[in-house]
Structures are given as C-alpha cells and as structure tokens.
Amino acid sequence: MLTLVNRQQQLSVLAEQLPVGATYCMDTEFDSRADGTTLCLLQLRANGETYVIDSLAVRDLSPLAPALGDPDSTWVLHGAQQDIPLLLSALRIAKVPKLFDTQIAWGLISPEPATSFAYLTYKLLGQRSSKFHQTDDWTRRPLSESQIAYAAHDVDSLPRMYEMLVSRITELGRNQAVLDACHEHLCGLPEASEPISLESYRNAWQLEPAGQIVLRDLIDWYNGLSQSERNKTIEAKLLWSLANRLPQTPEALRQVRGMPRLHAAQQERILSLVRGSLQNRAAANNLLEPPPYATFERLQLDAWLEYVRTMACSKAQVSKELVLGGRRLRQLREVVLVEGIDAFNVQSLIKILGTWQYSLIGETLAWAAQTIGAPNSLLGSREPARHQ
C-alpha cells in the first residue's frame, strides 16, 4: 500500500505507529542549487507499507525522530552520501543509528565499488526501472501520480535487496564489517591528517641551506598541530614559501605570496620559528639532492603493489577501491618502501588498514604478497632513508 503524507496530522499518526528499533528502508528526492539543498520528499518503507512524505508540505519531520533516530534502528539506503545530512537536519537528530547502504554492501561482496540503484536492482532482482522522472523539479507542486509512484518504486525494492545482501554477507561472516564500513563512508569519520615531510615539497632541494633548515623546523611544527589548529593557520603549501623568503618581521610575512590574514599571535609564532631556526642551527651540512621524477624501480614497486592489492581483493571478493584505496594505499606503499615484504605483518596491516578493512583483506594481503613474491627492487637495496 502506498500513502502520500502531506499533512502534519498524517505525519503525527504515522509517527505513533512506527516501532522503535526496526529496520527502515528510505530514499529521498531533493533539489540542489547554488544557495543550498532542499529535501523535497522522504520515502519510507515501514510496517510493510510505503509512505511518500512531502517534506515541503509537512515542514516538521521531527515527530519521526523517536523511531527513526533510535540507536537500535537500522536505515537501509542506496548511495546515501547526500541523504544522510538531509535526514539528520530534517529529523533534528545529531547521530544516525545503524546504517546499511546497499551500494557499499555490494562493494564488499563484489569488485564493483559504486553502482547505480537501477543497476543493482537489475543484478539482484532482475528488474528494469524507468528513470523518466529522475531530472524532475521536485519543488513543484502538485505532484503527479506518476511522480509519486516513481518516488515509491526505489524504496519498494529495498527490502528484498536488503534481504538478499544480508544473506550473502552473513554467509561470508561480514555483518559487522559492513555496518562499520557504511558508518565510516557515510558519516565521514575523522581521520588523522597525513603528516607532511620534505618529500612533500619537490623543490625543497632548491632552497638555500638556511631555507632547508627552516623548512625542516616548520614541518615539525605543522605536523604537531591538530586538524582544528591547522584550519586556523596557514596551508601546508605555504611552508616552502616561508622557507624561501625567510621573513623575520610582520611586514615581510605579509608579503609572502598567498599568506592569509593572521592574528598577531599566529604571526609571531611563525616568525619566532623562522628566527629560532636561523639562530640556533648550524649551517646545513646535508644539502638535499633533487629527487627523481620517476625510477624504474618505483614503477616496478607500484605495479607489484597493485597486483598484490588486486589478488588480495579478488580472493576476498571485495572492491579494492572501498577497502584499500587512497590514503591507506599510500601509507602501505610508504611502509613497504622501508620494510619491504616484511611490512605485511599483522600489526602493520591493522594500523594501516583499520579494523574492518583488516577483517576483510588483512590475511589475503599477506597471502598475496608471499605468493607473488617481492620484486627485485625490494629484494635488493631498500628505499634510501628519509631526510630527517
């Protein structure tokens, strides 16, 4: 049964009927413009029925919060990166309950990291769906019957898709890993900022000896800042400019290209770092060499690491982009450069991957590295020690 909810009283009645701690399949239709994003519809599958809630007519959705926002409830959505902040705002809740994103779940039992809802409904249910209303202006009223039916269609398909995915995930023993992955990807869990190093500045070798000393000290200072402190000061790319210009007065600091307006205390902190480095350090006696743009050894290592990642994720039946991509892949590469194949030990992999990622591919990564064997670039000399 499909019900259009477009009056506040209807919503209040629905809210009283919703059980706490249940599984809710949801979808949204919204309008994004330069001045912001507006939630236009909330599609909800509950108690075996589908509700299309007109959030432009029913302005206050908070009566749904006790049921939908309960920590024991589960939200089932697809590709919900944009849906989550809209729902949190509309329901007036600070935290999401358990999350199950069918797109992410599929990526943790297949090689496909980002699939459309239409594709996944076809793969799982064998259904072809129309996207006739996909580009509609959802702020316009009244809604047509076909628009309401279109909005309800996706959320009608979610319960069966959820059931099929959970069955496969349970068979693989990945229930908690999937919930953890969905929460991390959708809620933007804060990650520690990657430390910067001399290697972050390709032209550091071109600095004068004094500039190289200053850059080292500025890097140490910057790495010691929290993310919130970094947000209130200069960008990391400006450290090279400071080391190049070596400003020692507020006027000279303001003349550094790209320097933002800083409070007097922030200016003095940076200037004192520059002055201290110049006064307290002897002349540099280990001038940097220009780093190569590429080496055959590094190309070989990158190809080998990609092969290891592909073999491990294929054996584990997971998407390599979801489980080992971006920052974590770079971290693994840096550790391998120093430790070689010994980097694939339990402690190192847990630290690099994280808990749920390790539970999915930790052992298969170690297996793949040992099975394929280390390339010549790792068997021979290791990466030269980093400049300190």
Q: Where are the domains of the chain?
A: 2-187, 198-280, 296-379
Q: What was the pLDDT predicted at 383?
A: 47
- Which residues does 100 contact at the CB level (< 8 Å), separation at least 6? 74, 75, 76, 77, 162, 165, 166, 178, 179, 182
Instruction: List the CATH code of the domain at 2-187.
Output: 3.30.420.10
Question: Nearest-CA neighbor of 310 among 320, 323, 301?
Answer: 320
CA distance 125 to 134: 20
Q: What is the pLDDT of residue 42?
A: 98
Please enumerate in sequence order all residues whose Cβ is within 8 A of that of 54, keeping only pairs 6 or more positions apart, or say none: 4, 5, 6, 40, 41, 141, 143
- How far is residue 353's CA from residue 342's CA, in Å, rounded to a whole number? 16
CA distance linking residue 79 with residue 304, whole number of Å? 32
| Domain range 198-280, CATH architecture | Orthogonal Bundle (1.10)
Which residue stretches of the chain have pLDDT < 50? 381-388
Q: Are 4 and 149 in contact (CB under 8 A)?
A: no
Can you give the pLDDT at residue 384? Answer: 44
Structure tokens at 267: 């200016």
Question: What's the pTM?
Answer: 0.83
